[in-house]
Structure 1
Amino acid sequence: MRTLLLCCLLLLGLPVAAQVYTYIDAEGNRVFTDKPKSGDAQRIELNPGNSMPALAPPVAPDAPASATQPSQRYQVLRILVPQPDATVRDNAGNLIVSVNSEPALFPGHSYRLLLDGSEVGQTGRSPVFPLENIDRGTHQLAVEIIDQQGRIIERTPSQPFHMLRISLAQKRMVNPCKKDDYGVRPECPLKDKPPEKKDIPLIPFI
C-alpha cells in the first residue's frame, strides 16, 4: 500500500508533459514514477491519444443557442498508465491509472474511468484513479469526459492490460526465504521457519 500511495502522489504532481518511468521493485511489483530511482528504470514512450468525439445531443427548438458549446472540444484524451497491452504484476491486484487531456478539463467536466465496461474509481477532475483487488487476467480500460448532466463529451477506445497476481509460493521461488526473513517477509511466515539444529554435547568415553 505504501508503493500504491507513493505512485498516486507522484502521478498527481505530474505535469502534462512529464516523463513516466517504470521498474520492478525488490518484491516483484511494477512501480510507476516520474523520477527513475533504479538503474533498471525504463522510460515509457507515451503514444498519441485517440479522441472520439461524441455526437452532440439534439437541441430542442426552444433551447437557447448557448446550450451547445462547440468551442469546448478536446484534441487529445488518453490513458498514460498503464500503456496498451501492458502486464501489471501485483499480488494484491492494485493498479494506478493515470489519464490526461489536451486541453485540460473545462469547467463542469469530469473524468470517468471504465473497467471492462463498468464505471470504477472516483469520477471527478482528478486524472489519477487508484484501483484495488483487480482479478487476474486480461481487462479493458477506457476513459470518458462527461459534463455535469453525465453526457459523454469524449471517450477513448478500450485498451487492454494484463493483471498477474503473484502468489506467495511464486515469491518464495524467485527469492527463497533466508533465516532472518521469517516473520519479516509476508511469504516467509514464522510457522514455516525450519527448526534450528542444536549441537549435541559430546559424552566423554569412559
Structure 2
Amino acid sequence: MGYLIVSLLAILASPLAADVYRHVDEQGRVTFSDRAVPGSVLVESRGSGPPPAARPFDTVAPDEPTGDPGPFEAFEILEPADGDIVPHNEDPVAIRLLLIPSLMPEQRLQLRVNGQLVPGDLRETQTALQGLAPGSHRLQAVIRDGDDVIATTDPIVFHRRPGLDPTGPAP
C-alpha cells in the first residue's frame, strides 16, 4: 500500500519537475515553456537540488571560442554589461570594449552576435550595432591575426525589450 502511494505521488509530481524557460519573439511577445529555444532564458528550475541562476539558452556554435585574452593584458566587453536590458527604442546599441595594449596593424577586431560574425573589422574599441530585434542576444569580441583567432572576450548576453523606458514612468 505504501509503495502505491509513493508511486502515485511520484507520477503526480513529475510535471512539476520541469524547467521553465522565458522567450521574447521578434514581435516582443513573451512566452514561457518547458522547452528551451534559441534566445530563451532559464527562469526557474524545478528539478531536484537548488535552482541555478537564470542563464541564457546556449546559442554558441560548437567551434565558438570562449574568453581568452591571448597576448593582451585585458580584453573584455564593458558595455552592454552581461544581463543588461537595452530598450528596443535605443537604436543603435552602444558597444564599448576594453583592450590593453592596442591592436597591432595586422590584427583585426571583430564582433560575434548570436554566434555569427558581424561583417567588417573594427579599429576602435567603441562601436554600435543597429537593427537588433527584441529578444536575448549573445555578444562576443574576437581578435584575429590573419586567419587565426588570438584572443576572445567572455561572451555576454543582453536583452532587447520593446517599449521600455529606461527612466521609468513619468511622475
> TM-score scaled by structure 1?
0.45
- Give 5+ residue unaligned stretches, structure 2: 1-65
Residue-pair matches, total: 105
CA positional deviation for 1:90: 3.0
| C-alpha distance after superposition, 1:116-156 (max 9, x if no partner) | 01112531312122111111111100001111x23111011
For the pair shown, the structure with the greater C-alpha radius of gyration is: 1
Unaligned stretches of 5+ residues in structure 1: 1-49, 55-72, 176-206
Question: What is the Cα deviation at residue 94 of structure 1?
Answer: 2.5
Q: How does 1:88-103 map to 2 (within 5 A)?
A: 88-91=86-89, 93-103=91-101
Residue 139 of structure 2 is matched in structure 1 by: 141
The Cα of 1:157 is off from its aligned counterpart by 2.1
- What corresponds to 1:79 in structure 2? 77
Counterpart selection for 1:164 from 161, 165, 168:
161
SS, match of residue 138 in structure 2: strand
Deviations 1:92-116 (A, max 9, x none): 6420111121111123112100100
Q: 1:126 to 1:53 in 2, by over 3 A?
A: closer
Equivalent of residue 68 in structure 2, options 32, 40, 52: 52
CA distance in 2, matches of 1:156, 1:115: 13
Describe the shift of the 1:138–1:116 C-alpha distance in structure 2 as closer, same or farther (beyond 3 A).
Answer: same
Q: Indicate if the aligned counterparts of 2:88 and 2:134 stay in contact, CA closer than 8 A.
A: no
Change (3 A) 1:101 1:51: farther
Does the CA contact (< 8 Å) of 1:109 and 1:125 recur in 2?
Answer: no
Q: Which amino acid aligns with 1:127?
A: T
Q: What CA distance in whole angstroms lies between the structure 1 residues aligned with 2:120 and 2:97?
A: 13
